[in-house]
Chain A
Amino acid sequence: EAGVTQFPSHSVIEKGQTVTLRCDPISGHDNLYWYRRVMGKEIKFLLHFVKESKQDESGMPNNRFLAERTGGTYSTLKVQPAELEDSGVYFCASSLGQGFSEQYFGPGTRLTVT
């Protein structure tokens, strides 16, 4: 069974540009999460989808970040316009159950904003 995949693995963009990250969860997992780790900091929760609905987006840092999960399958996280402080690793995870249930993480997308 395929695990959680993320695309791209790396992205380097200039400040002010737009970047879209993609996450494909494990098939059948209704719960999809986005996390990020900015340089030197801890992994932080961004938001949680249940199917196509946003269950909790309390971790989204500001309105430059937009997450979607059309059709309840893959998800995208768009940053527009990107700022220097957005640099970091963005992880996606999926699970059958919610919250503290076992989550399966993708390898992450390393975003560098210059």
Chain B
Amino acid sequence: LAKTTQPISMDSYEGQEVNITCSHNNIATNDYITWYQQFPSQGPRFIIQGYKTKVTNEVASLFIPADRKSSTLSLPRVSLSDTAVYYCLVGDPLYSSASKIIFGSGTRLSIRP
């Protein structure tokens, strides 16, 4: 299964746009990219999932270049409440078993006033 690499931590300020990049050089043809967000003392929360180009929802945007070897989670105009750990996962939604889900270390995003 594709292994992902993302920055350990990032800092930003309220009102800024934050982009978190994830590398997944060995992504397979049927794999999707999924991002989860985790606040302290809570379980991970699904944010967004995509296969290629761009996906946008009410929370974030996900940009995936043509070669799909990386992806970027974009959080527009962050607030203090966006301080969390963000995980990038790669796998086939239809055929990858849950045992292949690798959360990794995630990216610890800290937002300052």
Residues of A within 8 A of B (CB): 4, 31, 33, 42-45, 48, 55-56, 58-59, 91-93, 97-108
Contact = CB atoms under 8 A, between A and B. Distances in A.
A100 B43 contact: no
Nearest to B102: A42
Interface stretch (B10-18, B60-68, B91-99): B91-99
B89 interface: yes
B92 A105 contact: no
Contacts of B41: 107-108
Interface size class on chain B is 20 to 34
A43 B103 contact: yes
A88 to B, nearest CB: 13
Best-buried of B44, B102, B104 by chain A (most CB within 10 Å): B44
Contacts of A56: 97-99
Contacts, number: 68
Given A100-B34, A100-B89, A102-B49, A45 B43 contact: no
Interface majority SS on B: helix, strand, loop or mixed?
loop
Contacts of B45: 105
Contacts of A44: 103
Nearest to A6: B43
B29 interface: no
Contacts of A45: 98-99, 101
Residue from B32, B34, B101, B104 having most chain A Cβ neighbours under 10 A: B101
A98 B104 CA distance: 20
A79 to B, nearest CB: 19
Contacts of B42: 105, 107-108
A43 B43 CA distance: 10
B101 A99 contact: yes
